[in-house]
Copies of this chain bind each other. A is one copy, B any other.
Amino acid sequence: MHHYYYYYYYYKLLFSFLPCNPDGESLTTCTKASQVSGVRVQLEMQALWQQFDQLGTEMIVTKAGRRMFPTFQVRIAGMDPSADYVLLMDFIQIDDKRYRYAFHSSSWLMAGQADVAAPSRMHFHPDSPARGAQWMKQTVSFDTLKLTNNLLDDNGHMILNSMHRYQPRFHVVYADPAPNSYLNANRNFCSFAFPETQFMAVTAYQNHRITQLKIASNPFAKGFRTPDPLTVWVVWNSTVF
């Protein structure tokens, strides 16, 4: 429990007004504090994200909570090295639709209006708050973030509706030490959304090509990889002799 949690609901409200801007740039253009106005954010593993995005990324949600893969990771530049920042993520539903997967056409179809929205939460990066110098030193990874479909979750996981589409967002909040700093709250943050990180929440993979790409690229799924032809050839010949 840190002081900045006081601002939880304040920032949550602020963020809710942001447009779902798909250009990966700062979502707002109003005057910003110098500590955040120059912040630049670059998505890591962008090529992998794009591979998934081309197939239509799916993310598993479970009752106990499931990690995202690919993991949301960013490189940050342009912070004030000596200022304190809080880094966090949230997820916004991209549209008010529910989807279903048509296996015969291997595509997603709209299937009516969205269910009641899941309780919206924010996920603070566990190193928050930390100085700009610390954040910029190396890649910032949200690998501990988990997705759940349990509306009553009390593990602090992100609650999403299965069969709905989401856009992850990333927020950089300057921890202003000034008294009554909440008055500057709308000047003290900047937000980023990378369109290639959009995904469909599912309880089981629908698109087989997504499953195969997960198996091929996630180290924890190595057990499901079929050995490549060269490996098969080597093993075959070495067991024969």
Binding site for B on A (CB under 8 A): 1-3, 84, 129-131, 133-134
Contacts and interface: CB of A to CB of B under 8 A. Distances in A.
Contacts of A1: 130-131, 133-134
Nearest 8 pairs of A and B residues by beta carbon: A1-B131, A1-B134, A1-B130, A1-B133, A2-B129, A2-B130, A3-B84, A2-B84
8 contacts: A1-B130, A1-B131, A1-B133, A1-B134, A2-B84, A2-B129, A2-B130, A3-B84
Contacts of A2: 84, 129-130
A1 B1 CA distance: 17
A3 B1 CA distance: 16
Centre residue among A1, A130, A131 by max chain B CB count within 10 A: A1
A204 to B, nearest CB: 34
A84 B1 CA distance: 9
Contacts of A3: 84
Contacts of A131: 1
A114 B201 CA distance: 61
